[in-house]
């Protein structure tokens, strides 16, 4: 895996992400500065990490989405390259048009940091091959604006094309408003882009990958990517 982690001013979970990529793939990712215009040669995975790019000012991800490096990311995705956006990264991908929809303020208008349960909807994607369809994983969220919405047509398409990869659910995998902390429509926690090579998700799988730290539920996502890329190569 030759991962590139984008670094925008105000991003603050890039260290978490870089460490996880190293722990799971055995290889240090390249850290790519927002003002750069090209990705490192041979990059096979672009990760847009979490944080508060530009302080979340104006709209979460809005300013970062217009940074020079994003043109390179768009071109990379158009060629089928794998792109993962987590939390602020998800917001940036939506603002940049790589993913549809918007992430609004959480229903209760408060920032929420807690472990949530996600139902993995499909296992036949590069991002979820490390899991079984229907499996429930427990990972942390930490965001104030993770309430996913899009117009009815877009939602219908996402659902119809099976592009919803993760949903907030109860520990036994049921959709339940009490277990949907931010009020996202249909409990949507993570979605695929049209071509299935771009994933945006609000929760932080990168924070649950070490057994010594308690839980490894997030590891499957990264291990799956490593396997996929190894096969592709």
Binding positions for other proteins, rule: CB under 8 A? 9-10, 12-13, 15-16, 19-20, 51-52, 54-59, 62-63, 66, 95, 102, 104-114, 140, 142, 144, 147, 149, 151, 183, 204, 206-207, 210, 212-214
Q: How far is the CB of 123 from other proteins (least distance, A)?
A: 26
d(CA 93, CA 198): 9
Q: Residues 87, 94, 143, 181: which is the catalytic one?
A: 87
Which residues, in sequence order, are bridge partners of residue 11?
A: 51
Q: Residues 14, 95, 121, 206: which is the catalytic one?
A: 206
d(CA 9, CA 32): 12
- Closer to other proteins at the Cβ: 106 or 125? 106
- Closer to other proteins at the Cβ: 211 or 232? 211
Which of 91, 126, 148, 131 lies closest to 196 in space, CA to CA? 126
- Closer to other proteins at the Cβ: 126 or 146? 146
Q: Is 204 annotated as catalytic?
A: yes
d(CA 130, CA 139): 15
Q: How far is the CB of 201 from other proteins (least distance, A)?
A: 16
Q: How far is the CB of 190 from other proteins (least distance, A)?
A: 18
Residue 189: both structure tokens together: 């926690």
- Closer to other proteins at the Cβ: 126 or 221? 221
- The 3 state secondary structure assigned to 68-136 is CHHHHHHHHHHCCCEEEEECHHHHHHHHCCCCCCEEECCCCCCCEEEEEEEEECCCCCCCCCCCCCCCE
CB 208 within 8 A of CB 217: yes
Q: How far is the CB of 122 from other proteins (least distance, A)?
A: 26
Q: Which residues of 34-45 are buried (b: 16+ CB within 10 A; e: fewer)?
A: beeeebeeebbb
Q: How far is the CB of 218 from other proteins (least distance, A)?
A: 10
Max distance between CA atoms of the chain, in angstroms, equals: 45
- Closer to other proteins at the Cβ: 125 or 147? 147
Q: Known catalytic residues?
A: 87, 204, 206
């Amino acid at each position: 895996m030759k991962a590139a982690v984008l670094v925008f001013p105000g991003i603050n979970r890039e260290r978490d992400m870089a460490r996880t990529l190293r722990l799971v793939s055995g290889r240090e990712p390249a850290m790519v500065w927002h003002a750069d215009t090209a990705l490192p040669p041979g990059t096979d995975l672009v990760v847009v990490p979490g944080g508060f790019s530009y302080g979340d000012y104006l709209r979460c991800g809005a300013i970062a989405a217009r940074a020079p490096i994003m043109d390179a990311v768009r071109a990379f995705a158009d060629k089928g390259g794998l792109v993962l956006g987590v939390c602020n990264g998800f917001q940036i991908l939506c603002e940049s048009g790589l993913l549809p929809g918007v992430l609004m303020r959480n229903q209760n208008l408060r920032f929420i940091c807690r472990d949530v349960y996600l139902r993995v909807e499909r296992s036949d994607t590069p991002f979820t091959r490390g899991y079984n369809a229907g499996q429930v994983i427990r990972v942390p969220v930490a965001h104030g604006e993770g309430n996913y919405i899009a117009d009815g047509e877009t939602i219908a398409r996402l659902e119809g094309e099976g592009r919803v990869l993760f949903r907030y659910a109860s520990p036994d995998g049921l959709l339940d408003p009490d277990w949907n902390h931010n009020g996202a429509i249909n409990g949507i926690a993570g979605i695929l882009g049209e071509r299935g090579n771009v994933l945006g998700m609000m929760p932080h799988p990168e924070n649950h990958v070490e057994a010594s730290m308690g839980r490894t539920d997030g590891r499957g996502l990264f291990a799956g990517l490593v396997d996929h890329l190894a096969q592709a190569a």
